[in-house]
Amino acid sequence: MTVSRSTPNWRSAGACLSADPDLFFPVASAGPADRQIARAKMICAGCTVRRECLDFATSHDHVYGIWGGTTREDRQRERRRKRRAAAAAAKRAVAA
């Protein structure tokens, strides 16, 4: 199945469709949950709608769970990186 960004039901093409949903919502971010997170990320790695899933999670501020192969911490790190890059670009623009 080919899914584009304009397809409203990208979830139906997710590699996680047949997986246990609890796998994608670990109760911790360390310890025994490390194996659970690794398994969820492995499923996401082969998913054809991984980008759509991640875009959905970030645009809807989903804090919990594995979305698009990323943990909450991964998404927070990426948001910080983008904010810093934008601030640095703005600073360069002002200096120019």
Q: Tens digit of pLDDT for each residue in 43-53?
A: 999 999 999 99
pLDDT-derived band at 56 (thresholds 50, 70, 90) equals: very high
Domain with 32 in it: 10-95
Average pLDDT score, the chain: 89
Is 24 a residue whose pLDDT tops 60?
yes
**Residue 80: pLDDT over 80:** yes
Number of domains, the chain: 1
Q: Tokens 């899914």 belong to which residue? A: 3
Question: Which CB contacts under 8 angstroms, 24+ apart, belong to 34-43?
Answer: 37/66, 37/71, 40/16, 40/66, 41/66, 41/69, 43/15, 43/16, 43/19
- The answer to whether the beta carbons of residues 20 and 30 sit under 8 Å apart is no
In a domain, 3, yes or no: no
Whether 41 is in a domain gets the answer yes
Phi, psi of 70 (to 5 degrees): -125, 150
- Domain assignment of residue 49, yes or no: yes
Kindly state whether residue 2 falls inside one of the protein's structural domains. no
In a domain, 70, yes or no: yes
Residue 74 counted as domain residue: yes
Domain annotation covers residue 52: yes
